[in-house]
């Protein structure tokens, strides 16, 4: 079956399913599917690097209203039907981060930032781990929380760094391990930088990071071109 025919059949099936089990798009609320075509387009990956401290972060998309609504619906609204689009974007960002390493050698570990116990109890799953699994990737559980962290919303860059400092520890000695960190969103980079600190403290090497989205408002002068990063 030709590609366009498969796409047409798939679209027809989804249309019929939407009639039988109506759903609202998690990006715009339109009565349609889990994700309408316009919102799916906003999540189409175009990975580019940015820098947070000494860490190069590859993000699939720029943060937008659509991206934010879909991520919140997925993480906190039970809309796991948005996982395929988010997983596809994250997989592309991870591939870019791996390709950007000095030798792109096999054996580089993917490590996610662990959810707090409170978030785990509320959600029942680790969002980024689930997205990696949907993309056929398996993270290594090498980090664990070391203390309580206040809500980051409303905090400035320095406050976020202070809030996160010392909040993570490695689960074991990481000497010889080369690691790409993975998270959903990077804003000031406080979370990823704390994860990198914990890994380096345990002897590991962080060779890059990947996220679904990058929030640029905290870094208006941080160009997303490789030449200036």
pLDDT of amino acid 49: 96
Confidence band, pLDDT 50/70/90 cuts, at residue 172: very high
pLDDT of amino acid 214: 96
pLDDT of amino acid 32: 66
pLDDT of amino acid 229: 29
pLDDT of amino acid 170: 94
Average pLDDT over residues 185-210: 94
**28, 66 in Cβ contact below 8 A?**
yes
Task: Report whether pLDDT(159) > 50.
Answer: no
Task: Report whether pLDDT(22) > 60.
Answer: no
SS (H, E, C) 198-228: HHHHCCCEEEEEEEEEECCCCCCCCCCCCCC
Average pLDDT over residues 6-18: 49
By the 10 Å C-beta count (0-12 exposed, 13-18 middle, 19+ buried), 37 is classed as exposed
* Mean pLDDT estimate for the chain: 80
Phi and psi of 52, rounded to 5°? Answer: -125, 105
| Distance (Å, whole) CA 74 – CA 68 | 10
Q: Give the containing element (helix H, strand E) for 178.
A: strand 178-186
The string of pLDDT tens digits covering residues 128-145 is 999 999 999 999 999 988
Predicted structure pTM score: 0.78
Sheet holding 55-62, edge to edge: 48-52, 55-62, 205-214, 178-186, 109-112
**112, 183 in Cβ contact below 8 A?**
yes
What is the three-class DSSP state of 147? coil
16-25, 81-90, 137-146, 204-213: the lowest-pLDDT one: 16-25
Where is pLDDT greater, at 125 or 229? 125
Task: Report whether pLDDT(18) > 50.
Answer: no
Task: Report whether pLDDT(52) > 90.
Answer: yes
Where is pLDDT greater, at 134 or 125? 134
Average pLDDT over residues 99-118: 82
Task: Report whether pLDDT(206) > 70.
Answer: yes
| Distance (Å, whole) CA 131 – CA 11 | 23
């Amino acid at each position: 079956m030709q590609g366009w025919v498969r796409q047409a059949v798939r679209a027809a099936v989804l249309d019929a399913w939407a009639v039988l089990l109506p759903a609202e798009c998690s990006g715009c609320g339109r009565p349609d599917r889990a994700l309408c075509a316009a919102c799916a387009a906003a999540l189409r990956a175009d990975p580019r690097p940015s820098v947070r401290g000494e860490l190069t972060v590859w993000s699939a998309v720029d943060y937008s209203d659509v991206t934010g609504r879909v991520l919140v619906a997925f993480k906190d609204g039970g809309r796991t039907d948005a996982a395929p689009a988010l997983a596809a974007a994250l997989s592309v960002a991870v591939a870019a981060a791996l390709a950007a390493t000095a030798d792109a050698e096999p054996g580089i570990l993917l490590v996610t930032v662990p959810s707090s116990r409170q978030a785990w109890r509320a959600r029942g799953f680790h969002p980024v781990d689930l997205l990696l699994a949907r993309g056929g990737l398996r993270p290594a559980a090498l980090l664990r929380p070391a203390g309580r962290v206040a809500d980051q919303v409303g905090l400035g860059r320095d406050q976020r760094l202070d809030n996160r400092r010392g909040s993570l520890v490695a689960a074991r000695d990481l000497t010889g391990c080369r690691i790409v960190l993975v998270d959903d969103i990077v804003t000031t980079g406080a979370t990823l930088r704390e994860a990198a600190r914990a890994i380096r403290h345990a002897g590991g090497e962080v060779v890059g990071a990947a996220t679904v989205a990058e929030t640029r408002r905290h870094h208006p002068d941080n160009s997303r071109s490789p030449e200036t990063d």
